[in-house]
Amino acid sequence: MSNKNKGIKLWLWLARPSYVCPYFCRVRPEEFRQLEIVLPENPGVYRYYDRSELLLYVGKAKNLRKRVSSYFRPDLHREGRLRMMIDRIARIDFTLTETEMDALLLENSLIKTYQPRYNIRLKDDKSYPYLVIRNEHFPRIFPTRRLIRDGSTYLGPFPSVLAMRTMLELVRRIYPLRTCSLPLTPASIARGKFRACLEYQIGNCLAPCEGRQSEDSYQEQIDAIRQILKGHYQKAAGLLRDEMKQHAADLRFEQAARVKKKMELLEQYQAKSTVVHHDITETDVFSVVMKEDTAVVNFLHMQQGRIVISHNLEILRRLDEDEATLLLYGIVELRNRYNSESKRLLLNREVDGLPVTLNVQVPRQGEKKKIVDLSWKNAMYFLNDLIRQRDDKQQDTRTTRVLAQMQKDLTLNRPPAHIECFDNSNFHGSSAVSACVVFRDAKPSKKDYRHFLIRSVEGPNDFASMKEAVYRRYRRLVEEKLPLPDLVVVDGGKGQLSSALEALSQLGLERKLPVLGIAKNLEELFYPHDPVPLHLDKKSITLKIIQQMRDEAHRFGLTHHRNLRSRKFIATQLTEIPGVGTKSAEILLRRFGSVERLFSAAPSEWIEAVGARRAEAIRLWCEANNSGSEANPRAGESNLPADVSIPKAANESPAAGETNQITKESPLVPNENSPI
């Protein structure tokens, strides 16, 4: 060996069924450039190992020399995981194959067996249910998840146990099969070793154990079942149709009726398959979608224009594989898994490396394009669902971490999964309300928010309002035996905190509920009976969540307070008119803009706005209060129908001392410039 190849030792031996050449070298990746001299230019599979003999990567190549040497070209600047893998390579093995397709199959097998770190990961590695036709006399058919190489036929895999059981029930209802595990050899049957069981009595078996059914007849049923399980329903239906006609010709009409019922069962099951196009025969449809490091390959298998198999395969990228490479892996894996022998493939993108014996098409329009689009939609939906599930898991992990951090920062006995925060809002003591917002798992639970109209407090008294709201809230929780929160937060300093503690003390909950107050100016946290506030880091997640709760309680309470004030403002002196409520007052003010314009309008306009009955009530009220004679000379002239009934209260005069006249100076009545 020349000096140029110093450090590289080569062993070559013959290994069945292909040549295997392992290379051992020192950990200097630049020496791999010398491999161009010794690597063959044949298709095959190469494997990279590190110094601890850990398999790093398995790859296939149409030309091993070009493919392997491309990893170590000095003009290419590798980054990320590819650079890390190249730096770890200490040994290279390769296996020669006859064709590129053989290399692809061998690569797929090695990846599933060894799961190298830098190869794509086929996440769909769970065991799927199969139906097995045993390799025995009078074969049994039963479900299994274990594939044993004993000559038996395995049909599937099925996407779910329900789909497998549905198919098994169908074939058993059409064809009477044995379910026992007796060794039914011709010799044992001839000796009369077995007796028919209850399955024969109820018609589920034809008793081959007693020789009542020949092995040839039984095998014909098995062959028909194979056709059904492979999706060839019409072949099985044709056999049943011939059998029915034969029974009818022999005047065995009862047997013909039973066969006809079996045909109907088969047709009903076939009708459940998705019809795509009757002109499209046995075809495999594949599509691939990819987001970041996750890809999904969808597989649809079609028989006689119907989709009989649908499967989604999740693939995790390890290096910089493109969609075409991932689609190629998916095609090989899924065709092997379902033992597909279809010669036609419909794909959503071009792929290199498939055998030339396959009819590979990438349709651009027509019915075939619609099928590929359907496959792509299934893959995209499955991928989005995977990403959503992954985000949910990450969110659960984040929530657990956040709650643990809050428990540590606030020195609580348990993580605060349920927190409630209180805040007050009023306008110079009027329309006083309190708000209670609820956070569960560090997120707002808006369905649990509550409002409190302060009833026992006169004037602007924030402390008393806080006490009433806290008392009413937890009295109800105690009475209804609902779970108490893990933490109570009040918006305010020591005064509001003391008021909340008084309310809890009256309920006997002072030692059961952790309480703290948050002061807005310096974002200080106050604990009961502790004069020194707690100052958390401004970037602390605990402080941010408490601030979010405080702001949410303020927003929720202030919104309710403003709505309450708006309703009181709308309730002008118009609502004192018998028959005119809040809604009618809103309609009138929105229509006329002000009370003055309302009284200046003609009665016909009142009728158009709120109807004849309310218009007459307004006119009578104006006359009784001397409001319409000056503002509207026509108010006394009734243009209403004679049969309109007038509320009695409208004829009553105001009590002595009441000042319910409407004037421009009244603060409750908007003037002409009021923006209503």
3-119, what's its fold? GIY-YIG endonuclease (3.40.1440)
Domain segments of the chain as ranges: 3-119, 283-385, 418-567, 571-651
More confident residue, 398 or 21: 398
Q: Which CATH superfamily is domain 418-567 in?
A: UvrC, RNAse H endonuclease domain (3.30.420.340)
86: left (phi over 0), alpha (psi -120 to 50) or beta: alpha
238: left (phi over 0), alpha (psi -120 to 50) or beta: alpha
Helix residue ranges per DSSP H, 304-365: 323-337
Average pLDDT (654-669) is 35
Residue 535 and residue 521 in contact, taking contact as beta carbons nearer than 8 Å: no
Tell me the percentage of the chain whose pLDDT exceeds 70.
79
Q: Give the strand pairing for 359-361 and 141-144.
A: unpaired
Residue 670 and residue 589 in contact, taking contact as beta carbons nearer than 8 Å: yes
Residue 172's closest CA among 137, 222, 125? 222
More confident residue, 72 or 570: 72
Residue 227's closest CA among 171, 278, 169, 281? 171
pLDDT band at residue 429 using 50, 70 and 90 as cut-offs: low
More confident residue, 455 or 663: 455
Q: What is the pLDDT of residue 27?
A: 34
Written as one letter, the residue type at 562 is R
The CATH class for the domain spanning 571-651 reads: mainly alpha
Q: What is the mean pLDDT of the chain?
A: 77
Q: What is the pLDDT of residue 31?
A: 55
Q: What is the pLDDT of residue 487?
A: 92
pLDDT band at residue 286 using 50, 70 and 90 as cut-offs: very high
What DSSP letter does each residue of 414-426 carry, written as one string?
S--SEEEEEEEEE
Q: How many CB atoms lie within 10 A of CB 278?
A: 10
Beta bridge partners of 517: 490, 526
Residue 465's closest CA among 478, 479, 475, 451? 451
The predicted-structure confidence for 3-47, as pLDDT tens digits, reads as follows: 333 333 333 322 333 334 443 333 344 555 556 666 788 888 888
Beta bridge partners of 9: 24
Q: Which DSSP symbol is given to 483?
A: P
Average pLDDT (259-284) is 67
Q: What is the pLDDT of residue 25?
A: 36
Report whether pLDDT(669) > 70: no
Lowest mean pLDDT among 9-18, 144-153, 441-450, 588-597: 9-18
Q: What is the pLDDT of residue 644?
A: 37
Residue 59 and residue 103 in contact, taking contact as beta carbons nearer than 8 Å: no
The predicted-structure confidence for 512-570, as pLDDT tens digits, reads as follows: 889 999 887 778 888 888 888 888 888 888 899 999 998 998 898 888 878 777 666 65
d(CA 33, CA 19): 22
Q: What is the pLDDT of residue 654?
A: 37
Q: What is the pLDDT of residue 17?
A: 34
Looking up tokens 């105690």, which residue turns up? Answer: 478
d(CA 54, CA 548): 50
Q: Which two tokens stand for residue 53?
A: 């003999």
SS3 sequence, 111-132? HHHHCCCCCCEECCCCCCCEEE
Tell me the percentage of the chain whose pLDDT exceeds 90.
7
Distance between first and last Cα of the chain = 99
Q: What is the pLDDT of residue 416?
A: 92
pLDDT band at residue 254 using 50, 70 and 90 as cut-offs: confident
What DSSP letter does each residue of 160-201 carry, written as one string?
SHHHHHHHHHHHHHHS----------HHHHHTT-----HHHH
Best mean pLDDT range from 111-120, 255-264, 524-533: 524-533
What DSSP letter does each residue of 59-124 carry, written as one string?
EEESSHHHHHHGGG-TT----HHHHHHHHH--EEEEEE-SSHHHHHHHHHHHHHHH--TTS-EE--
Q: Which DSSP symbol is given to 251?
A: T
Looking up tokens 């064709």, which residue turns up? Answer: 99
